Amino acid sequence: MAQAAPHNTSQRADALSQKLPALLVKAERVAATVMLGVHGRKRAGPGENFWAYRHYSFGDSTQRIDWHKSSKSDQVYIRENEWEAANTLWLWSNIGPRMDFKSHLATETKKERAQILQLALASLAIRAHERIGAIGSDRRAGTGQMALRQLAEDCAKPNDNPLPVPRAMQRQSAAVLISDFLDEPEAIKRAMATLAESGVRGHLLQITDPAEETLPYDGRMEFLGLDSTQKFLANKTQNLRAKYIEAFATQREAVRQIASRLGWSFTVHRTDEQLSKCLQALHLRISDR
């Protein structure tokens, strides 16, 4: 068994890499449908256009003092310009075994949908001249098509960790985390809190299969765990539906509360829903519109 693991990992990597070009093409196509034009950031920072005056404070460079404005007052003023420079968008999606699920109600697995949305968001950021990076990757955030291809490669690397591995990120950058978030709430809370300590603005996107929300099965059904050794036989599956839906809603609300306490957003997307609608909503949230 120990010798088979590297071989299985290699097979999974090959399978993912073969799907990658098609996923990237689809992601670019979806991004093109929701592109809302150049999304300049109307914030104070480096730039040529005037933004606002503010009082000089300790640590400011004297070269930034507006002497003409200051000469008309007892205060010393700093001239701030509008920032249209690149921001940084950090992305992560869960590609563990649990995300391979696809019911008869969906056309894609949760993993494929998560990867397409991740790459589409990255494509939108690149078009807006922003930096992109993969949470957990050793690569630095970058811009342009090369950065997009590198992010796509990071998407294809096998990773059974259902939660992101924290890394240092610039303060005031944005992070989008995509998963089904069916892990223990305490584990999710710890992982998200560690990321929040970096000062990023977080956005959680929960991907679910419609069957996971509704349990649309009747009669005798056998449910298998991820390792195929866990099995549960239900004689009348319909009798479990009400309690199952309640438990699923409780899990979702727990994740929503975790995001809320951190000041992050929380969005739900089902794999039978339109991709562009979800992408547009996320794009607007990240753009602070």
The class that CATH gives domain 4-40+85-286 is alpha beta
- Write down the pLDDT at residue 241: 95
- Provide the token pair at 234: 């239900």
- Write down the pLDDT at residue 31: 81
Report mean pLDDT in 10-residue bins for the chain, 289 residues.
45 56 80 59 49 67 81 82 63 92 95 94 87 88 89 82 78 90 95 88 96 94 77 91 96 97 96 92 78
Which helix (H) or strand (E) segment holds residue 205: the answer is strand 201-208
β-strand pairing of 77-83 with 50-55: antiparallel
Q: Which residue matches tokens 């009669």?
A: 219
Q: Give me the helix-helix angle, 110-127 and 275-286, nearest 10°.
A: 50
CA distance 238 to 167: 44
Give 3-state DSSP helix, strand, coil % of the chain, rounded to 5: 45, 20, 35
CA distance 3 to 120: 37
- Write down the pLDDT at residue 4: 43
For 51, the 3-state DSSP assignment is strand
Reported as a single tens digit per residue, the pLDDT across 90-101 is 999 999 989 999
Cα separations (Å) of 233 from 114, 209, 210, 212, 237?
30, 21, 21, 17, 9
- Write down the pLDDT at residue 104: 94
- Write down the pLDDT at residue 5: 46
Largest Cα–Cα distance of the chain, in whole Å? 84
- Provide the token pair at 248: 């699923």
The length of the chain, given as a count of residues? 289
Indicate yes or no: pTM above 0.85.
Answer: no
Reported as a single tens digit per residue, the pLDDT across 16-52 is 555 667 777 788 888 887 764 434 444 544 444 555 6
Residue ranges of the domains in the chain?
4-40+85-286, 43-83
Beta carbons of 30 and 275 less than 8 angstroms apart:
yes
